[in-house]
């Protein structure tokens, strides 16, 4: 059965992250680089790096011809950053086709290249002497949290002349500020799906943290007809006797109490918190800033407040979420909160990009070439993120959904210390991911749960080496009876 929304019925589609070569060809095989040979080279580079995500071009390939071709592709001025991002966007849109709703989760991070003194064109990120560039990423999720692809990523370098002039921010129009990227995200992500037929187009729900709490963002959401769940940063003026957003929602009746899983934070362990939920509908008054295009907006607000936090917790749970989704019942409020917790997928993505793909260790002569390489690694990082969550949500799938025949046979051979029979059935996706995690150091006790992203990318790296050895043995020796 499909899901009904906006008076239409959508059939749920599934997109599995297949083996590196198949995935690279599917996503990047249609890239328009002005020359078919460049496209073929791009597919080869992406497939090689996806098989060995912690390596660079010079170590991911064994032949000098492949290494030289990879670097020439990045150095080619006819190939732009936008050319390399376009295939990821197209693949994400295609993966979202037919979904009733899809979550567009966005966040900004900085890439630190301070130690790369020879790289030209970098700019300040956190301090004037800390050099690098910034990324604003949007990943597309199914409503259950499975990553579907990289929908959008914007990379840029700050102008050193403009850095340190925060006192002049209020004198600028929003379009002149970095924060305008949140409005652009809403508008452009909606445009990406215009190529789909109306009955196949999902309703996008934008999920932002506090940095996205901008009045123009809510206007853009309303103008595009999409939805949003955004954590409040400002205690905005509202059309209510209480006068302000937070006072209004906190004076609303308690709808219910539940236990919430709180992710690990710096200095704190992952824990469970007892929270209570409130919700209301109110009208936002436009802020008194430069510009005349702001209007009053009706939104729904959800408050999540921790009850009696344990000692030692510096910041108890207190979320104020502004949304376009209904909040009339406790079940609807819980759904809004669940969607917001899926925002942590973008944190995992940035972790994989930086640590799993070693993106901050890239070495190129210019910032522009760094941006091109990041466009490739970004797609690979989302694929690794998807591998992690498919096993949790679809554990009984055959592992061939993500592993090639040689990969799963090499994996079984390594774990069981003997090759599987010719007619052996592939293990389930859950079992295969547990074994990959074991290669990466996951103990696999019942209390350990599924392996995390750090463990998986280490195991994935080992699996690729095992697969090469397995293929070599099969091609040179007779198979075991």
**Contact by Cβ (8 Å): 414, 440:** no
Q: Which residue has the higher pLDDT, 153 or 12?
A: 153
Residues found in the chain = 481
- 7 is a domain residue: no
The domain in which residue 467 lies consists of 395-475
Q: Which two tokens stand for residue 383?
A: 């694929």
CATH of residue 422's domain is 1.10.740.10
Long-range contacts of 111-114 (CB under 8 A, 24+ apart): 111/135, 111/354, 111/359, 111/360, 111/370, 111/374, 112/360, 113/360, 113/362, 113/370
**Contact by Cβ (8 Å): 300, 325:** yes
- 367 is a domain residue: no
- 239 is a domain residue: no
User: pLDDT at residue 3 above 50?
Assistant: no
Q: Which two tokens stand for residue 145?
A: 């949290």
Per the DSSP assignment, residues forming a β-bridge with 138 are 106, 152
Section 421-438 average pLDDT: 90
- 169 is a domain residue: no
**Contact by Cβ (8 Å): 84, 372:** yes
* pLDDT in the model for residue 13: 37
pTM to 2 decimals?
Answer: 0.86
pLDDT bracket for residue 63 (50, 70, 90): confident
pLDDT, mean over the chain: 86
C-alpha pair distances (Å), 116 with each of 22, 168, 355, 412: 34, 31, 17, 41
Encode pLDDT of 256-301 as tens digits: 999 988 876 666 677 888 999 999 999 998 887 555 678 899 999 9
CA 378 to the chain's CA centroid: 9
Token match 């595009």: residue? 224
- 15 is a domain residue: no
Quickly count: other Cβ atoms within 10 Å of residue 288's Cβ: 7
Domains of the chain: total: 1
Per the DSSP assignment, residues forming a β-bridge with 131 are 124
- 468 is a domain residue: yes
Ranges 85-99, 279-293, 330-344, 367-381: which has the least confidence:
279-293
Token match 């499975």: residue? 146
- 66 is a domain residue: no
What's the CA gap between 224 and 217, in Å, rounded? Answer: 11
What's the CA gap between 222 and 354, in Å, rounded? Answer: 34
What's the CA gap between 356 and 106, in Å, rounded? Answer: 20
- 448 is a domain residue: yes
pLDDT bracket for residue 170 (50, 70, 90): low
């Amino acid at each position: 059965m499909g899901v009904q929304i906006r008076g239409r019925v959508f059939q749920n589609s599934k997109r599995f992250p297949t083996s590196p070569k198949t995935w690279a060809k599917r996503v990047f095989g249609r890239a328009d680089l002005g020359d078919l040979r460049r496209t073929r080279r791009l597919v080869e580079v992406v497939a090689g790096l996806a098989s060995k995500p912690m390596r660079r071009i010079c170590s991911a390939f064994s032949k000098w011809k492949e290494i030289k071709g990879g670097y020439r592709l990045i150095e080619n001025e006819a190939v732009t950053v936008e050319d390399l991002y376009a295939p990821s966007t197209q693949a994400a849109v295609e993966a979202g086709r037919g979904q009733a709703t899809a979550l567009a989760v966005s966040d900004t991070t900085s890439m630190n290249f301070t130690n790369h003194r020879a790289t030209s064109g970098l700019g300040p990120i956190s301090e004037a002497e800390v050099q690098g560039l910034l990324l604003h990423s949007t990943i597309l999720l199914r409503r259950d949290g499975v990553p579907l692809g990289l929908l959008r990523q914007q990379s840029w370098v700050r102008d050193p002349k403009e850095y340190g002039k925060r006192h002049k921010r209020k004198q600028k129009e929003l379009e002149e500020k970095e924060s305008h990227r949140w409005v652009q995200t809403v508008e452009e992500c909606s445009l990406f799906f215009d190529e789909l037929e109306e009955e196949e187009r999902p309703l996008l729900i934008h999920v932002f943290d506090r940095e996205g709490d901008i009045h123009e963002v809510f206007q853009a959401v309303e103008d595009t007809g999409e939805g949003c769940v955004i954590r409040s940063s400002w205690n905005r003026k509202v059309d209510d006797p209480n006068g302000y957003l937070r006072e209004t929602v906190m004076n609303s009746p308690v709808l219910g109490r539940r236990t919430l899983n709180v992710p690990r934070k710096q200095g704190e362990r992952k824990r469970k918190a007892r929270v209570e939920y409130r919700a209301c509908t109110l009208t936002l008054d436009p802020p008194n800033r430069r510009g005349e295009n702001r209007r009053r907006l009706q939104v729904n607000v959800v408050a999540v407040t921790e009850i009696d936090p344990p000692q030692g917790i510096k910041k108890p749970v207190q979320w104020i979420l502004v949304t376009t989704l209904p909040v009339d019942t406790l079940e609807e409020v819980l759904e809004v909160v669940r969607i917001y917790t899926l925002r942590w997928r973008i944190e995992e993505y940035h972790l994989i990009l930086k640590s799993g793909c070693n993106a901050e260790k890239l070495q190129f002569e210019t910032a522009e070439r760094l941006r091109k390489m990041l466009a490739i690694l970004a797609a690979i990082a989302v694929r690794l993120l998807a591998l992690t969550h498919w096993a949790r949500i679809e554990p009984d799938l055959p592992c061939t959904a993500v592993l090639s025949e040689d990969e799963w046979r090499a994996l079984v051979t390594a774990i069981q210390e003997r090759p599987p029979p010719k007619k052996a059935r592939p293990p389930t996706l859950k079992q295969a991911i547990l074994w990959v995690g074991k290669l990466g150091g996951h103990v696999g006790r019942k209390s350990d749960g599924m392996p995390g992203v750090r463990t998986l990318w280490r195991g994935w790296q080992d699996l690729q080496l095992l697969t090469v050895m397995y293929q070599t043995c099969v091609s040179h020796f007779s198979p075991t009876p």
